[in-house]
Amino acid sequence: MKSFSCLILGLYFLVPRAGFTQDLRLPRDAEKLMLRAQNFWAAVVSRQRLQALEFVLPEKKELYVSGNAPPIVKAKVIGIDLTSDINRAAIRVSVEALTPGAGPAGWTITDDWVWRRGNWYLEVANPGDIFPKSGPATTVDVKKVQEEIKKTFEILQDPVDLGTLIQGDYSKFEVPIKYTGTAPISLELGLPNPIIDLDYESSFKITSGSTNLVLLVDATDWEGAFNLPLPLKIQSQGATLERTLVVKGSVFAPFTFRQSPPDRPLKAGDQFSVFMRNNTSQEVGIRSLSVDGKAMIQKEPKKLPPGQEVEVVLKLKPDDIPDKLYLGLETPIEGRDRFTYRLQNVRRQ
């Protein structure tokens, strides 16, 4: 913590965004701000889109996922530009991205962050607008390139059956492909998907030597069967061809959670409940329950009987808003001894 605090202090001595004549102030809880900015960009670089969305303002999430910025391969938070409002901050980030047909290129960008309901959130702009624009593209025969892609690129497994996944797991699945063209092609998702993303390494540059795509599957926020059309954009030489890959499977949740009340503003001292249901045939002991100290646990069960539901009662603290409940088990279930529930819309009056 000491070294992190020193980093924060060093970052305060930076050029402000709006000149020296304003009454500039340090942002509130700057350590939390820096940590969340670093975690956001770590998620972006690792292509964890759902994880990155946790740091974005709710009303800006759709804008973030709809952006078409080039893939980020490196990112480093380098400074804070101070403002006159302690509830707003500007974070400068050094990023490195790759664009088709070019090597790595770096820029310094500025993110706007806003303090809301006890935490810092990214007030995202259009992702495509933060990178320098390239010069005029070379004229190509788009229809000819599209026809060439149709002839030379095949997805050899469609639909893709992922089988039964365990809720909370993060997995990779290879999908065989064949490409006989000469110009490299790249793939990206046409729309954001609640479970599936494309692995950057296998999809950014596909050549005749490529043998598969890699699907990144995050089963954290899904339960039950799924049969999802996955729109793909295949790009080459300025031309785009759309294709759809069907991905199906199911997600088994060993434990399910529900919250009561599910969505209500709370004040300090208010209580709410989280009910945990054991969907397996095995009774398990509870080793630990935690909300990172952001609420008081008033009722804490010790066991999860098979096929039954138990209640956890939480009491809101004056200065904190809990966001996740962590369940630790004495005996692993489906190979895991730790499960996480994202609390639903806990907020202050």
pLDDT at 8 over 60: no
In terms of residues, how long is the chain? Answer: 349
The model's pTM is: 0.54
Least confident range from 1-10, 83-92, 146-155, 330-339: namely: 1-10
* 142-252 has the same fold as 2-130: no
Class of domain 142-252: mainly beta
- Report the distance separating Cα 152 and Cα 143, nearest Å: 14
- Given a contact cutoff of 8 angstroms between Cβ atoms, the answer to whether 315 and 274 are in contact is no
183: tokens are: 């110009």
CA atoms within 13 A on the CB side of 143: 0
With pLDDT > 90 as the criterion, what percentage of the chain qualifies?
26
pLDDT at 130 over 80: no
Higher-confidence position of 12 and 184: 184
User: Strands of 212-218's sheet, edge to edge?
Assistant: 153-155, 170-179, 212-218, 196-198
Q: Is 77 exposed, middle or buried (0-12, 13-18, 19+ CB in 10 A)?
A: buried
- Given a contact cutoff of 8 angstroms between Cβ atoms, the answer to whether 94 and 104 are in contact is no
User: How confident is the model at residue 151, as a pLDDT?
Assistant: 92
- Given a contact cutoff of 8 angstroms between Cβ atoms, the answer to whether 116 and 57 are in contact is yes
Q: Quick one: pLDDT band at residue 160, thresholds 50, 70, 90? A: very high
Alpha helices in the chain (DSSP H): 2-12, 30-45, 49-53, 61-66, 142-152, 200-203
CA distances from 152 to 148, 180, 184, 198, 246 (A): 6, 5, 11, 21, 20
Higher-confidence position of 4 and 141: 141
Instruction: For residue 30, give every residue at least 6 positions away whose Cβ sits within 8 Å of its Cβ, in sequence order, or none.
Output: 8, 12, 80, 89
User: Of 264, 248, 275, whose CA–CA distance to 341 is shortest?
Assistant: 275
pLDDT at 240 over 70: yes
Domain 255-348 has CATH 2.40.50.100: no
CATH of domain 2-130: 3.10.450.100
User: How confident is the model at residue 162, as a pLDDT?
Assistant: 93
Domain ranges of the chain: 2-130, 142-252, 255-348
User: Of 190, 176, 191, whose CA–CA distance to 240 is shortest?
Assistant: 190
User: How confident is the model at residue 56, as a pLDDT?
Assistant: 86
- Given a contact cutoff of 8 angstroms between Cβ atoms, the answer to whether 152 and 184 are in contact is no
- Is omega for the bond preceding 70 within 30 degrees of 0, making it cis? no
